[in-house]
Amino acid sequence: ATVTEVAIAPDGRRLATSALSSRDSVRVWDLATGALLATPEWPDAPARSVAFDPRGERLAAVGNGGFIRVWDATDLKTVWTTVGHLRNIHAVAFSPDSRRIATGGDDGFVRIWDAATGARLGEFRSPVEVQAVAFDPEGRRLVAGSNEGSVYLLDPATAKLERVIRSDDRNVRGLAFSPDGRTLASGGAGMSIRLWDPETGHELLTLEGHKAQINALAFSPDGSTLTSADHSGAVLTWSAAPLASK
Residue 171's pLDDT band, with cuts at 50, 70 and 90, is: confident
Q: Which of 23, 117, 114 is nearest to 78 (CA)?
A: 117
Write the single-letter amino acid at 54.
P
Could you read off the pLDDT of 158-170 as tens digits, one per residue? Answer: 999 999 998 767 7
Pick from 83, 185, 180, 92: nearest CA to 131? 92
Indicate the residue type of 237. Answer: T
| pTM (2 d.p.) | 0.93
Q: Which residue type, as a one-letter code, is found at position 91?
A: A
| pLDDT score for 243 | 54
Q: How far apart are CA 146 and CA 38, in angstroms?
A: 33
Distance separating alpha carbons of residues 196 and 200, to the nearest angstrom: 8
User: What pLDDT is attached to residue 246?
Assistant: 47
DSSP code, position 228: E
Mean pLDDT of the region 42-55:
96
pLDDT, residue 82, reads 96
* 114-to-221, 237, 240 alpha-carbon distances in Å: 26, 35, 34
pLDDT single digits (tens) 98-111: 999 999 999 999 99
